[in-house]
Amino acid sequence: MALRSPESGGEKGPWETEAEAEEEEKEAASSPEPELTVSTRGPGSGPGPGFQPPEGGYGWLVVFAATWCNGSIFGIQNSFGIIYTMLLKEEGGEKSQQEFKAAWVGALAMGMIFLCSPIVSIFTDRMGCRIPATAGAAVAFIGLLSSSFTNSLEARFFTYGILFGCGSSFAFQPSLVILGHYFQRRLGLANGVVAAASSLFSMSFPFLMKILGDKIQLAHTLQVLSIFMLVLMLLSLTYRPLLPTTHNPRAKVGRSLRQQCLGHLTNYCNMRVFYHRTYRIWAFGIATAALGYFIPYVHLMKYVEKQFTGEKMIKDTWVLLVCIGATSGIGRLVSGRISDSIPGLKKIYLQVIAFMLLGLMCMMIPLCKGFGGLVVVCLFLGLCDGFFTTIMAPVAFELVGPMQASQAIGYLLGMMALPMTAGPPIAGLLHNCFENYHVAFYFAGVPPIIGGIILFFVPLFHRKMPKKQEMDSSKDKMLASDTIMNGDLLPGAPATEAHI
């Protein structure tokens, strides 16, 4: 159902002259801003002066779907250390090549989530949340299922690393966007429910995968995990967008097809965020820290098996991943509250502390002489993970403004893909060279510390150009009424349905 103002008319036919087009353009320029056209497809939608999210109702089903998405995808991704040990047991060949090649399987899967983020943003803006999320879950399902029918690491580079990773990216990102369609006043509550519930959900995966691995081995374990993606594919169908759009009669007047195509290309591939020097510094710092971020998730299980051989607690290595997941959820909830109380860009210091502590904890892993010490280290690792991920969006808003924040985050995640993918294989190569994991974990701690030092200087540079920031902020407010995709439509509202 669509609500239009009675004054809005349709487009004229091809007999319209250039003089009439210019006259219409002048009248449109002198007229007040176009009224909001609200298109809704959810139940209970009715007339209203503007876009009003339902703040509940059907939205809670969407919250459940987003929770399942976050919990299942990152529950599998963050528990790859268990799959990694099963891959090493199953794969034959020279041992010197195993550690390096097996690490690539999980690293590719995690890296593809971030590498595809800018592309997913374009598809989500253009097609809406439902189609990319459903298609992504289907691809992830095919990736996991096909991985169970091969014993080759090279084949799993594609099935698990590429297919499952890309599918996870397309399924995950719309789950973040769709909540804004159903919640505004209670958006913080909805995000908190998703963060807490998905953390509890993902905490069960290490235990589940360990039990399945011992009972039915790797192939059947991957088949069971693919069921979670099948359920996610069905739940993604609940992402029914609420479509706000403005009826702008000037959108196509006097513009050729080439100009319209260039305009769309500019909207989708907007590189203006890189004009901000502070954003470039911030993105470089986080990309640097990402080099060591994923190493503990991949190599920690194998390290414990080798380091604590013969100890009773060796059977409960999955507890370490549960500890990381538990404190990560706590960190997300706590850091959100803390960041709301910190004004301006000073909240970036939470990321600085998180990265510095993350690096120190990675370096502490080889120094732990008992399993209890590793549990404490993993609790802090999860806490740092929660703080780092939650503060990312608020800092992006402070650096580039609200109108460019979505693409700023997309580009940032894309920049993180390469170092995050390269980290675990490099650690595996160091293990092969030195025949222990000590150097690998020392290496894992260096990039986060360097990244934290880089981020420390971002607020200092930001203070030196207050006038430029004020100009950029005013431009963002003006752009909110221009014909830019993320300004005309709520992110994730399909442009193809804008005027239905």
Taking residues 168-195, report their average pLDDT. Answer: 79
State whether 202 and 297 are in the same domain: no
Q: pLDDT tier at 174 (50, 70, 90 boundaries)?
A: confident
In a domain, 43, yes or no: no
Tens of pLDDT along 27-40?
Answer: 544 444 433 333 33
Q: How many other C-beta atoms are found inside a 10 Å radius of the C-beta of residue 212?
A: 19
State whether 222 and 276 are in the same domain: no
Instruction: Output the pLDDT for position 255.
Output: 64
State whether 205 and 280 are in the same domain: no
| DSSP bridge pairs for 38 | 3, 244
- Give the CATH number of the domain where residue 342 resides: 1.20.1250.20
Task: Count structural domains, the chain.
Answer: 2
In a domain, 259, yes or no: no
In a domain, 133, yes or no: yes
In a domain, 497, yes or no: no
Tens of pLDDT along 72-92?
Answer: 998 898 888 888 888 888 876
Sort 467 into a burial class: Cβ within 10 Å, 0-12 / 13-18 / 19+: exposed
Instruction: Output the pLDDT for position 81.
Output: 84
Domain that holds residue 81: 52-241
Q: What's the predicted TM-score (pTM) here?
A: 0.71
State whether 298 and 229 are in the same domain: no
Of the two residues 102 and 457, the one the predictor is more confident about is 457
State whether 224 and 293 are in the same domain: no
Decide if 447 contacts 359 (C-beta within 8 A): yes
Tens of pLDDT along 365-374?
Answer: 999 888 888 9
Instruction: Output the pLDDT for position 486.
Output: 35
Instruction: Output the pLDDT for position 164.
Output: 95
State whether 78 and 157 are in the same domain: yes
CA distance 376 to 325: 13
Q: How many other C-beta atoms are found inside a 10 Å radius of the C-beta of residue 259?
A: 11
Tens of pLDDT along 287-308?
Answer: 999 999 989 988 888 888 888 7
Decide if 241 contacts 494 (C-beta within 8 A): yes
Q: Which one, of 172, 107, 182, 173, lies nearest residue 407 by Cα?
A: 173
Among the residue ranges 100-109, 393-402, 476-485, the one predicted with the least confidence is 476-485
In a domain, 46, yes or no: no
